[in-house]
Structure 1
Amino acid sequence: MQATTKQLRQHAERSGSAQQQPRAPKPRRFDPRAMISNSEMQAALGSGVLMLVAWATGSWSEMLSVAIYVLSYAVGGWSKAKEGVETLVKERDLDVNLLMIAAALGAASIGYWNEGALLIFIFAMSGALESYTMERSKKDISSLLALKPATAVRIEQGAMNEVGIDQLVLGDLLLVRPGELIPADGKVCRGESAVDQASITGESLPVEKSVGSEVFAGTVNGEGPLYIEVTKAAENTLFAKIIKMVEEAETEVPESQRFIKRLESIYARVVVGATALLILLPPFLLDWSWSNTFYKAMVFLVVASPCALVSSIMPAMLSAISKSARKGILFKGGVHLENMARTKVVAFDKTGTLTEGIPQVTDFIASAGYDRDELLSISASIENLSRHPLAEAIVRKAEEEYLELQGVQESKSLTGWGIEGRIDGRLWSIGKSNLLDGNDQWTGPEAAGSNSLDYWRSLRGQLESEGKTVSVIMDGEKIAGMIALQDTLRPQAEAAVRKLQNLGIKVAMLTGDRAATAAVMARRTGVDLVFADLLPEDKVSHVKTLREQYGHVVMVGDGVNDAPALATATVGMGMGMKGSGAALEIADVVLMNDNIEEIAATISLARRSQRIVKQNMIFAVTVIAALMISNFVQGIALPFGVVGHEGSTILVILNGLRLLR
């Protein structure tokens, strides 16, 4: 799509307002109304009410009471019976749903209508609680997607129209104002700006974009409006991949749950077989009456069913995943929560992970004959006209030193290099230090001492060896000074490391920076292990070594070069706000808000969920064993078996739901 130069200019003049940034989802609290609105919960409650009505009418109309009991069975047991039959027909397998329906019908067949209805009611209630947990988890995870841009400004026939992201097609022309998220992958048709594309490439500093440059969805436009032609469909963007991750999280189950599902199938067959033998053999072997035998068999069918055991894991897992999602931590599945609970080492990439990509001035050197404060004031005055992060860092430096800014005339951005402007008739320019790599004969008016080209090259080399970005200040054709800037350590980095160490976890830092720079960062953060001068394949090698030496390793990274290490670690954790698409594709867990201080809390939550799962499983097995033994040694009433067994199921679910608090 093409637009006239006049139309583009008109749109540029009207594009001053920036898009309001998406808000993070608010924490969700327990809401009884939301739970009651669950259809399964409504069916369970309806079944319970009908059971009470049937019991109340039994004293004066047995036929009406039985009819209401049948209705109670149908309302509470229909969905579970349907699930059980589908499993039997499609998978040729038995599950706990069919066992419970069979037990309820068996109780009814010998006249225990109320006990059967009670079994249906409590079983439906426990199922509704588990479904509520799953729905709650899905909603908490999905709410994180509100962070993505929902609309784009599309130029159609000379007019600007705000459209949904899903309405964009290849060739559409979009206007992206300063400060806005770029809504789609595309190519710049007009405009110049610095784009923060750390979310795609992991670069800590913005990249200059001009006509013909590629831009990516999820990146942030800088100081100038950009007109972009869409080159990729919405489903291929970064946030489309996040949606895909959510869908994967809903289907993936932890290894412990897969084991329980396999056990359930075998166990269900054993229970059915044992129940059949209990019905057929005791009248001949123990001289029991048929009614007494059938009654005990029904009690056995109820108390031996693995309802509580089956429900021991997923409610706790989903509650932990849901709680993590509320804090901006997205798990792709319960298996990763299990693995995170076993963490022994957390390895951080440095750039964009322990640091946040906000540069600050570390060194400001004035050439001989220049006053430092005056030169800093001049530099800040010129850079104040730019929204480039490096420019903003210089302006902040001048403000911190309470220096007054001066009037600038004829300011102009020098694409790909820097900016220039006149102050009191003198031309000043500030930009990349690659200017020093020109002809060795160029030295400026001064050629010796601290004004020589060799001096500035040597100084630049020293500063760059410390991991700093270097810019030069030019007074016309003369070097007036040099500025060094460095990425900012995340405020929570030191606390994040300390919290992990308090959990008994080793903290490692993997970086491609020079050893000297890495050592400085290690001292500031307090990490235990430092590995520097690494290529992507070196990071993979070190992660493998850490796994061999310590056990389970969590790798935290944000860039494309971190993707292999993320895949190699036990759990790969990607940075969601500024992480690259490749890193998020491979990561098992995503920090949507990039708050690394939450990693320790997430590991603690994972460990707590595992403790609750173990508590639930031990409790469930103990109750099943106690009820089975009691049924044969002394004999227990069917209502007691129903309440004991299904009550234990509800208790393990509620125990798992504690994690939602």
Structure 2
Amino acid sequence: MITKSNHKPNKGFSFGLWESHGAAIVTSFCLLFIVLAYLARINDYTFVEIILFLFAYIVGGYQKAVEGISTLFKEKDLDVDLLMVIAAIGAAAIGYWMDGAILIFIFSLSGTLEGYTMERTNKDIRSILDLRPEKAVLLRNGKQVEVKAEELKKGDTILIKPGERIAADGIITQGYSAIYQATITGESVPVDKTVNDEVFSGTVNGYGGIEVKVTKQAEETMLSKIIHLVQEAKNEKPPNQLFVEKFESIYAKIVVITAIILMIAPPFIIHWSWKETIYRAMIFLVVASPCALVSSIMPAILSAISNASRKRVLFKGGAHLENIAGVKAVIFDKTGTLTYGEPVVQDIISFENYSEMELLKTTASIEALSEHPIAKSIVQHALNKNIELEHSINLRSFKGMGVQGTLNGISYKVGKRDMLNNIVLTKEQEDLALKLEQQGRTIIFVSNGHNLIGMVSIFDQVRLEARRVIEELKNMNIRVALLTGDNERTAKNIGESTGIEEIYSGLLPEDKVDFIKKMTAKYGKVAMVGDGVNDAPALAAASVGIAMGAAGTDIAIETADVILMADDIERIPFAISLGKRTNRIIKQNVIFAIGVALTLITLNFIGGIINLPEGVIGHEGSTVLVILSGLRLLR
């Protein structure tokens, strides 16, 4: 297999100070020796000329030769670096010192340019690492102790002074301030935060000093997840890259075998001189190497991922960028995606002998351990009214339905209408529930196992941008559907507000998975957008799972392929368009790379139109051009 060392993945995100600047210095010295050798030639200093050319060969080609030999013996692969050096030595052996030296110089220059272009690609991604705080001020026994951020543990309390970067994800326990959290959510305006509000590692504290209780260790923070996702995306190869590498292995063998034949056959068949034969074979080795083809894909993929990350869209790998380009349908969950995911208690309606406060206390006490957004809103509403919650036991969760728990010896059920089992609602209760549902509210029913003791209505505001996003997707000829576990009336109300006609309500997590599979079979690639634990199976089943990064649950973020860090669904059309543009540029690059290679091979053997330096310029020039073409995706 022929590989090119310039395209081997770099460790980490930095191309490195020596790799970027050192390569330029080496290339400059190589050029200097070539110029001096040329001056010696025109002044008939033959011995000096050869010595200077040797210096040019050594300075420009030593590192490439070492890498090529290492690849040959360690990886059992034939590196294109070694082929270039062999071609240059072959040219010198038959007296073409200048041609060989120019080959070495241009090859070295190409590597330098590629290094700089790849550094440009990495720059935006690498900047994320700079956001990671190194130190934190830990409050221990009333004293301030400076520690490494990575040493912080859950439950620690840290002090964040005005203007400092927050060292860990946590909850404010004292103080208030404005937090600049564009690095995580993309919000350009500082967000006011006070006690019990969540803050993220890597964001910047504004004007006030705050104390923060650490809720996640260093490797679990949102910033660490972003860094991990970017590293994962940078190193993962998409299917088209893997295909090219497999093709390259076969192609490489053909190139090597053909080059050997071309070094032997022409003098006997077309009566070329041995000097001409070897020279043409050296040119073939250069122009037939698949550098440009290999460079057609990954620079474009990395540029697109870098572009997306600047807009707070994280792709977990190039394969997902490729898949999203072919999406024919986008399926939305309701809560936290089309809505803000911050449901608010609107009405508390009690029955039997329960007062509104008793009903709220009972409901919140049962819901206290649930992670569902609606449960959290009920609990928060109770806490806001200074209601002291009681400890419930025998808690049992029914996926997509509700919860059951025991409080003071009574078993309560809280959730959808289906949780009522055989309890029959009175006409007055039915009419009230219908009225609230028609207003777009979600109804939570509370029973004591025998009777309905109350209803809690929840309202979750539809995102202002939702209708605009749906219209944009439809204009891209993409089908849009809404899947929700909510009731039909609420789902219909959301559909009317957003412009979605295809609505499926009352679905359990497994129902959503079945629907995704049906849509995939019918339309091809399907994207699912969600944020909750109950969305994770559907996110995994979809061709592309898209999770809300800020409000989304850990399991949704882990399962998804694409993360919207700012919870901005307006980025979905952008992500699809970026995927399409990436695929288009990759196809252009591949066609261009193959076309240039075929043209140069033809010009080499039909009339011997090109010489070695021209072959090198054409070959390396096409490599640099496809990389620069890929870099267009940075815009």
State the one-letter code of the partner of 2:529: V
Which residue of 322, 332, 346 corresponds with 1:348?
332
Which residue of 443, 466, 471 corresponds with 1:493?
466
2:79 is the counterpart of 1:95: yes
Which residue of 292, 300, 316 corresponds with 1:332?
316
TM-score normalised according to structure 2 size? 0.71
2:383 is the counterpart of 1:416: yes
Kept after mapping to 1: 8 A contact 2:234/2:302: no
Kept after mapping to 1: 8 A contact 2:40/2:48: yes
2:30 is the counterpart of 1:47: yes
Partner Cα distance (1:128, 1:79) in 2: 13
TM-score normalised according to structure 1 size? 0.69
Which residue of 230, 236, 244 corresponds with 1:246?
230
Residue correspondence of structure 1 range 137-536 to structure 2 within 5 A = 137-144=121-128, 154-161=138-145, 163-169=147-153, 172-174=156-158, 233-358=217-342, 416=383, 418-419=385-386, 459=432, 462-463=435-436, 468=441, 486-536=459-509
Partner Cα distance (2:348, 2:508) in 1: 31
Partner Cα distance (1:268, 1:226) in 2: 61
Measured after TM superposition, the shift of residue 589 of structure 1 is 1.8
Kept after mapping to 2: 8 A contact 1:149/1:181: yes
Partner Cα distance (2:313, 2:547) in 1: 10
State the partner residue of 1:591: 564
SS, match of residue 550 in structure 2: coil
SS, match of residue 554 in structure 1: strand
State the partner residue of 1:81: 65
State the one-letter code of the partner of 2:41: G
List per-residue Cα deviations over 1:182-218 (Å, max 9, x = no partner).
9668899999xxxxxxx9xxxxxxxxx99xxxx9977
Partner Cα distance (2:23, 2:199) in 1: 43
State the one-letter code of the partner of 1:655: S
Measured after TM superposition, the shift of residue 94 of structure 1 is 1.3
Kept after mapping to 1: 8 A contact 2:315/2:561: yes
Partner Cα distance (1:621, 1:528) in 2: 46
Kept after mapping to 2: 8 A contact 1:94/1:269: no
State the one-letter code of the partner of 1:293: T
Partner Cα distance (2:546, 2:381) in 1: 39
State the partner residue of 1:554: 527
2:47 is the counterpart of 1:58: no
Q: Assess, with a 3 A threshold, how the Cα gap between structure 1 residues 175 and 563 changes in structure 2: closer, same or farther.
A: farther
Which residue of 621, 641, 644 corresponds with 2:615?
641
List per-residue Cα deviations over 1:71-97 (Å, max 9, x = no partner).
333443344333322321222111322
State the partner residue of 1:539: 512
List per-residue Cα deviations over 1:521-573 (Å, max 9, x = no partner).
12222235322222222222111111111111122222222222222111222
Measured after TM superposition, the shift of residue 168 of structure 1 is 0.9
Partner Cα distance (1:598, 1:588) in 2: 14
State the partner residue of 1:124: 108
Residue correspondence of structure 1 range 551-590 to structure 2 within 5 A = 551-590=524-563
Q: Assess, with a 3 A threshold, how the Cα gap between structure 1 residues 352 and 415 changes in structure 2: closer, same or farther.
A: closer
Partner Cα distance (2:144, 2:439) in 1: 47
Q: Assess, with a 3 A threshold, how the Cα gap between structure 1 residues 588 and 521 changes in structure 2: closer, same or farther.
A: same
Partner Cα distance (1:272, 1:35) in 2: 32
Kept after mapping to 2: 8 A contact 1:467/1:513: no
Measured after TM superposition, the shift of residue 49 of structure 1 is 4.5
Kept after mapping to 2: 8 A contact 1:144/1:325: no
SS, match of residue 42 in structure 2: coil
Aligned residues: 525
2:90 is the counterpart of 1:106: yes
Partner Cα distance (1:56, 1:659) in 2: 43
Kept after mapping to 2: 8 A contact 1:572/1:589: yes
Measured after TM superposition, the shift of residue 63 of structure 1 is 3.4
State the partner residue of 1:20: none
Q: Gapped runs of 5+ residues in structure 1?
A: 1-33, 192-198, 200-208, 366-388, 394-412, 421-436, 439-452, 472-481
Partner Cα distance (1:148, 1:489) in 2: 34
Percent identity over the alignment?
49
Q: Assess, with a 3 A threshold, how the Cα gap between structure 1 residues 129 and 523 changes in structure 2: closer, same or farther.
A: farther
State the partner residue of 2:634: 660
Measured after TM superposition, the shift of residue 128 of structure 1 is 3.4
State the one-letter code of the partner of 1:605: L
Measured after TM superposition, the shift of residue 166 of structure 1 is 1.0
SS, match of residue 592 in structure 2: helix
Measured after TM superposition, the shift of residue 253 of structure 1 is 1.0
Partner Cα distance (2:293, 2:348) in 1: 66
List per-residue Cα deviations over 1:608-628 (Å, max 9, x = no partner).
121111111112212211222
Kept after mapping to 2: 8 A contact 1:96/1:268: no
Partner Cα distance (1:359, 1:252) in 2: 38
Which residue of 44, 50, 54 corresponds with 1:70?
54
Partner Cα distance (1:521, 1:538) in 2: 20
Partner Cα distance (1:364, 1:540) in 2: 34
Q: Assess, with a 3 A threshold, how the Cα gap between structure 1 residues 503 and 469 changes in structure 2: closer, same or farther.
A: closer
State the partner residue of 1:375: none
Kept after mapping to 1: 8 A contact 2:137/2:160: yes
SS, match of residue 509 in structure 1: strand
